[in-house]
Amino acid sequence: MNKKIFIASDHAGYEMKTKLNKYFNSFIDLGTNSFESVDYPDFAHKLSIEVLKNEGSLGILICGTGVGMSIAANRSKGIRAGLVNSVEVARLIRQHNDANVLVIPGRFMKDEDAKNCVQMFIDTQFEAGRHKKRVEKI
Ligand code: RB5
């Protein structure tokens, strides 16, 4: 895997982040680094800055529901963050939306499903075609 992949979570996503890091062993981890309570926008913004700075890179964000991270990350122009609930959605947010950030609901997704979503997100390319003009309209 040669593209840079950044990962970050708040305390509610910390356990899932630890598991994904252990499994994939190739992500650039931007914190948080414990179960101590933190504010998810701080980590969403930190990761968004890195994804925008590193062309072609991708990001993975995890909080409890995934909603806070999604809202915060999508405030950055150029970030297209998609909250997933299945591997199929993880595929479609790359193919159709050119999502550059995958958001996982850490408290509402099984470990195996999260791993499969991450793998699919990394392996899937943007289809462009009819989707290009739609993404450009954002
Ligand atoms: C933290 O308790 C929780 O609010 C946060 O992880 C997230 O779910 C917010 O959207």
* pLDDT bucket at 104, cuts 50 / 70 / 90: very high
Active site (annotated) includes residue 117: no
Could you give phi then psi for residue 49, rounded to 5 degrees? Answer: -60, -45
> Which pLDDT score, from 0 to 100, does residue 94 have?
98
Residue range 23-57, pLDDT digits in tens: 999 999 999 999 999 999 999 999 999 999 999 99
* β-strands 58-63, 101-105 pairing: parallel
Which of 116, 127, 70 minimizes the C-alpha distance to 90? 116
Rounded distance from Cα 129 to ligand 1 centre (Å): 36
pTM of the model: 0.97
Determine the Cα–Cα distance for residues 87 and 126; give it in Å rounded to an integer.
16
The protein residue with its alpha carbon nearest to ligand 1, atom 4, reads 64
Determine the Cα–Cα distance for residues 58 and 99; give it in Å rounded to an integer.
8
Ligand 1: atom nearest CA of 12 is 6
Q: In sequence order, what are the residues at sequence separation of 6 or more whose Cβ sits closer than 8 angstroms to the Cβ of residue 70?
A: 61, 81, 82, 83, 103
Partnered with residue 104 across adjacent β-strands are 62
For residues 100 and 58, is the Cβ–Cβ distance under 8 A?
A: yes
Residue range 48-71, pLDDT digits in tens: 999 999 999 999 999 999 999 999
Residues with CB under 6 A from ligand 1: 10, 12, 40, 63-65, 67-68
Which of 108, 100, 20, 16 minimizes the C-alpha distance to 66? 108
Six-digit token string for 105: 């609901």
